[in-house]
């Protein structure tokens, strides 16, 4: 299949991923209001073409916290990749590295910071939630630092999980093979 635009990826995923998992990934919380607003905002971003300029040498590289990346695009922190692919966040880390960009590993990842770091070279950040038990955060940050992660991306606006109507309708539960490994103790 030849993919000609970004929206075709969603159609392919819908065919390949079980419905309950696809709906979990594709849905938003509370009437999906924020999801709709985000899509509307993204659709208003326009590229303004420059006419009659030299485009023989285009350079999209930029730097983020001193790390040079190939383009101003990074992998955002999203969790539970293993529900869509058995190699989960490890495959995502390899893909980000191959593309020359940064992967931000979600706290709710199905592979640990150590497992993701073991996939090879790459620039990686760790997304971190605010935990009531500060020791959990401290240990996770230390593990990320020991694994070579370059930055912490703090998420401070998710005190509770959103109420996803698709998950309620589908009676969503994580498949038995999915574990949130960054919450487990790994020699810390």
At 169-178, the pLDDT tens digits run 989 888 888 8
Residue written as token pair 């208003």: 44
93 C-beta neighbours (distance < 10 Å), count: 27
Instruction: Say if residue 110's pLDDT is above 50.
Output: yes
Residue 38 has pLDDT above 60, yes or no: yes
Q: What is the pLDDT of residue 142?
A: 96
Between residues 158 and 164, the one the model is more confident about: 164
Would the pLDDT of 188 be above 60? no
Residue 112 scores a pLDDT above 80: yes
94 burial via Cβ count (<10 Å: 0-12, 13-18, 19+) = middle
**Residue 117, class by beta-carbon neighbours within 10 Å (0-12 exposed, 13-18 middle, 19+ buried)?**
buried
Give the N- to C-terminal CA distance of the chain in Å, as an integer.
45
Q: How many other CB atoms sit within 10 Å of the CB of residue 182?
A: 28
Task: Report pTM.
Answer: 0.85
Strands 123-129, 102-105: pairing kind = parallel
For 168, other C-beta atoms within 10 Å of its C-beta total 10
pLDDT at residue 186 greater than cutoff 50: no
The answer, yes or no, to whether residue 134 has pLDDT greater than 70, is yes
Q: What is the pLDDT of residue 179?
A: 83
- The answer on pLDDT for 154 being more than 50 is yes
CA distance 22 to 17: 6
More confident residue, 156 or 88: 88
What homologous superfamily does CATH list for 7-183?
Answer: Aldolase class I (3.20.20.70)
User: Distance between CA 46 and CA 65 in Å, rounded?
Assistant: 27
């Amino acid at each position: 299949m030849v993919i000609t635009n970004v929206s075709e990826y969603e159609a392919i995923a819908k065919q390949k991923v079980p419905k309950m998992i696809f709906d979990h990934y594709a849905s938003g919380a509370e009437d999906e209001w924020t999801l709709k607003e985000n899509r509307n905002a993204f659709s208003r971003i326009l590229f303004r073409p420059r006419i009659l300029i030299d485009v023989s040498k285009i350079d999209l590289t930029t730097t983020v916290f001193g790390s040079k990346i190939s383009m101003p695009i990074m992998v955002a922190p999203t969790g539970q990749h293993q529900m869509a692919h058995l190699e989960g966040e490890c495959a995502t880390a390899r893909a980000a590295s191959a593309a020359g960009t940064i992967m931000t590993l979600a706290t709710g990842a199905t592979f640990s910071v150590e497992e993701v770091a073991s996939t090879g070279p790459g620039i990686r950040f760790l997304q971190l939630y605010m935990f009531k038990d500060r020791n959990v955060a401290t240990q996770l940050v230390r593990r990320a630092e020991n694994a070579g992660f370059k930055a912490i991306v703090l998420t401070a606006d998710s005190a509770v999980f959103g109420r996803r109507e698709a998950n309620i309708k589908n009676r969503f539960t994580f498949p038995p093979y999915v574990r949130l490994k960054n919450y487990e103790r790994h020699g810390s």
